[in-house]
Amino acid sequence: MLRPLAFALFAVGTASLALAQSSKPGTVFTGHTEPVYAVAISPDGKLVATGSFDKSVKLWDPATGKELKALAKDGHTSQVLAVAFSPDGTLIASGGSDNQAKLWKHATAEAPKALAHPNLVDAVAFDKSGKFLATGCHDGNVRIWDIATAKAEKTIAAHLLPQPQPIYAVAWSPDGKQIASASFDKSIKIWDATTAKIVVEIKGGIDRIPPDTAKTKFAGTLIGSPGDGVLNAPPDSGHRDQVFTLAFSKDGKQLASASSDRTLKLWNAQTGQLVRDFPNPTLKPVPPGTPAPSHPGFIHQVKWTADGTKLVSAGTAPRGQGYLAVWTVADGRLLSGQELPVGPIYGLELTADGNAILACGSKVRGKSESDAVVVALPGK
């Protein structure tokens, strides 16, 4: 199953954005004419950028909720799927379904630099120096672009087997030495940014239904056979479906990931070993005997809180709702999990004052009105 971009391509109407740096939870600001899919906060917290299916990238004043600028000159010709600020806040990178990444000097009226790709660009991320941009494309390649020249310095054949697989997320390690990528193929890979060689691979898993001991205790002929290895194999640790989002811890030692398999996972970034799952005690395991899912629907975003003690995850819920959850990193405990009547949540950013900006889709099936809302995280 593909990321639900295709479902949103038909959305039209009015979308709204809520901003949180100095705003109160529940504040709503209108602007885009179609659903908001991506959101980013500048490093100094004074600007918010959004990307929308209306093809635009917009800038907002988080203190007032006022739209400051729409970046439209020579902009995207189709849906905007990703936005990111450079470390110094002077540049915005965007990716779109028009097979382009764009580099904007948002303080000027200068046309953006266009970074051409052969397919959709679903992920953009600056390195810590601000000199390089990593992009994830649906052709299965991660590209590292030199910002000064707007040329691809390296192309990493990241997710190409058995055929090119869409890349949904890229993330630089805090030291800028590695890049993680996540894909439709269920896998997560960590690459050396200098050599483009793979460092760690976390393969996708398959669901294993634990055998019924009442039925298998007499199956002695399976012992030592290939069937025995399948029946008694430990559960796979990898994601069972496409992986949408990645986030390194501040020290770079751990990597959080989330998927359309409804699970949130934490990995050792040096070894690729699973550190822990995040089972939701309000949800039933599927299949029985496996850890409970983390969310009732797809998980589109995960972020670390500033102190590194919690993870915040956001995604979809049944009946067109959104779901927001807060977890403790140390033990995987669910602190808060709630369905929100805001529509599916596609984008998430955390503000310095403990709020979350949620970029959402339509709240009502068949209608295009979409909001992005501000909510206060529990325990702030």
User: Tens digit of pLDDT for each residue in 71-107?
Assistant: 988 899 999 999 999 999 999 999 999 999 999 999 9
Separation of alpha carbons 259 and 251, rounded Å: 23
Q: What is the pLDDT of residue 376?
A: 82
* Residue 141 CB contacts under 8 Å (≥ 6 apart), including other chains: 155, 156, 157, 158, 160, 164, 167
Please answer whether residues 205 and 239 qualify as being in contact, where contact means their C-beta atoms are separated by less than 8 angstroms: yes
- Residue of higher predicted confidence among 14 and 266: 266
Q: What is the pLDDT of residue 343?
A: 85
Question: Where is 216: in which H helix or E strand?
Answer: helix 213-216
Sheet holding 121-126, edge to edge: 121-126, 132-137, 141-146, 151-157
Listed by start position, the domains of the chain span 5-204+239-376
5-204+239-376: CATH superfamily? YVTN repeat-like/Quinoprotein amine dehydrogenase (2.130.10.10)
The pLDDT of residue 145 is above 60: yes
The pLDDT of residue 21 is above 80: no
Q: What is the pLDDT of residue 229?
A: 47
Q: What is the mean pLDDT of residues 363-369?
A: 67
Amino acid (1-letter code) at residue 167:
I
pLDDT-based confidence at residue 368 (cuts at 50, 70, 90): low
Q: Is 226 exposed, middle or buried (0-12, 13-18, 19+ CB in 10 A)?
A: exposed
- Residue of higher predicted confidence among 302 and 342: 302
Q: What is the pLDDT of residue 222?
A: 47
pTM over 0.85? The answer is: yes
Q: What is the pLDDT of residue 379?
A: 59
